[in-house]
Amino acid sequence: MDLNALQQAAKAGDRHAEKVLFEVLSERFQVLAYQKVWNKEDAREVAQEALAVVVQSLPTLDIHTSFAAWAQRVLENRLLAYIKIKQSRRKRDGGPVDPGQEPPAEPEDTALKGRLLSCLEEVARRNRRYARILNLHYQGFDTAEIRRRLGITENNCYVLLTRSRSLLRDCLQKKGHVT
């Protein structure tokens, strides 16, 4: 499903495209939000808030890159706001708001981040296309948009993604962080 094409059609006044766009975004947002907040009601609320931002912005939205990536960023911003609210409530109340509902916080591993950046630089030195495709994928672009931006076929896109991930994984294994 090409969200960019649906967004363009919806902006042009196609009601069916608008309906499909929001159904797809609603489902996608709820799944992604649930992966972060581990509570279906809260995930649904965060997804609806993100959709409200998309609905308000759609008529005047002027995106020159990817609507899918922009929509993903809107959801991430709503998730960050949700997390900040939860953290402030926890600090105020002196404990977790919903015990058992939140995943345990993972400590930040600055050494791992440094090794990851080092490995990404190594991938870029070996093949700039590998680094570029990893970067576009990380930014939330779907494979259709990546193919369009890089001017490659579908099969080549998946080959490049597989090889770049393999190089990254091998580098991290050498540095002792992936099994």
Note the pLDDT tens digit of each residue in 28-45.
888 888 888 888 888 899
- Nearest in space to 2 (alpha carbons), one of 30, 32, 34, 25: 25
HSE, CB side, 13 Å, CA atoms: give it for residue 87.
8
pTM of the model as a whole: 0.51
CA angle 143, 159, 67 (to 5 degrees): 10
pLDDT in tens, 75-123: 899 988 888 888 777 777 665 545 445 554 555 567 777 888 888 888 8
Return the higher-pLDDT residue of 90 and 67. Answer: 67
- What is the predicted pLDDT for the residue at 100? 46
- What is the predicted pLDDT for the residue at 99? 44
Q: Is 60 exceeded by the pLDDT of residue 165?
A: yes
Q: CA–CA separation, 89 vs 81, rounded Å?
A: 12
The position carrying tokens 């939000």 is 33
**Mean pLDDT of all residues in the chain?**
82
CA angle 122, 127, 132 (to 5 degrees): 90
- What is the predicted pLDDT for the residue at 139? 77
Asked if 143 contacts 174 with a C-beta cutoff of 8 angstroms, the reply is: no
How many angstroms from the chain centroid is the CA of residue 118?
22
Domains of the chain: 3-93 (1.10.1740.10), 110-174 (1.10.10)
Asked if 164 contacts 123 with a C-beta cutoff of 8 angstroms, the reply is: yes
Q: CA–CA separation, 93 vs 96, rounded Å?
A: 8
Asked if 49 contacts 80 with a C-beta cutoff of 8 angstroms, the reply is: no
- What is the predicted pLDDT for the residue at 16? 92
Band the pLDDT of 152: cuts 50, 70, 90.
Answer: very high
